[in-house]
Amino acid sequence: MDSNAIFAILLLLAGIGILSAEVFIPSGGLLGIVTFVALVGSLGFAYRAWASSNPNLFYAFCGAQLLLVPLVVGIAFYILPHTSLGKRVLLEAPAPEQLMPFSKEFARMVKLIGHFGTTVTTLNPGGIVLLEGERFHVFSEGIIVELGQSIEVLAVRGSRLLVRPGRPPEQNDSPATAKSSSLPLDFEFPQS
């Protein structure tokens, strides 16, 4: 075998090895430059060894180099997350609770849907309401709600409540009326 062919193969293997090391060793691009020089040198030696005597072998060598470079980079990036270095360098995906940091507050606010409160400020359309003894920042459906009006919570949007004017259903069944409504109409209360 020709010495040019040996150097072409050795430089190709060295370039591929340095390229895979570039993925695992942060060098600021220095190993990438060395890889480029090695692969171009490999092509130069392959040209001198096979271009005139066996052009098909030269083209096969160029095609192999074109296939090996992305293949090695892909394999290196596939292996990287499973190494100890890769686990330190690459970040884990955040947990769903971390993506929505106010999940407990959001769940508490969702429980307020359908409840009624009173405006502390004029909602124009945003403002403050008093709801179950707490103040909440809310916004209305695009209408102005005056100070002191009763509101109903419709939904949670982000970190605020969507409200509209509304009153709780009337509690007409007080204990006295509940007794009298279940009694016959001709019943008379005893006189004491």
DSSP state at residue 123: B
Residues 115 and 155 reside in one and the same domain: yes
Residues 29 and 81 reside in one and the same domain: yes
The total number of structural domains that make up the chain: 2
pLDDT in tens, the chain (192 residues): 789 999 999 999 999 999 988 888 878 889 999 999 999 999 999 999 998 899 999 999 999 999 999 999 999 888 888 888 787 777 777 776 666 667 778 888 899 999 999 999 999 989 999 998 899 999 998 889 999 999 999 999 888 899 999 888 875 444 444 444 444 444 444 554
Determine, yes or no, domain membership for 136. yes
Long-range Cβ contacts of 70-74 (<8 Å, 24+ apart): 72/16, 72/19, 72/20, 73/19, 73/20, 73/23
CB 128 within 8 A of CB 138: yes
The pTM of this model reads: 0.48
- Tell me, what CATH number does 117's domain have? 2.40.50.140
Which of 89, 121, 140 lies at the terminal end of a domain, its last residue? Answer: 89
Output the CA torsion sign for 40, 45, 46, 47: positive
CA distance 31 to 33: 5
Strands 150-157 and 134-140, by their bridges, are unpaired
Range of the domain at 115: 103-165
Determine, yes or no, domain membership for 175. no
Which of 28, 54, 89 lies at the terminal end of a domain, its last residue? Answer: 89
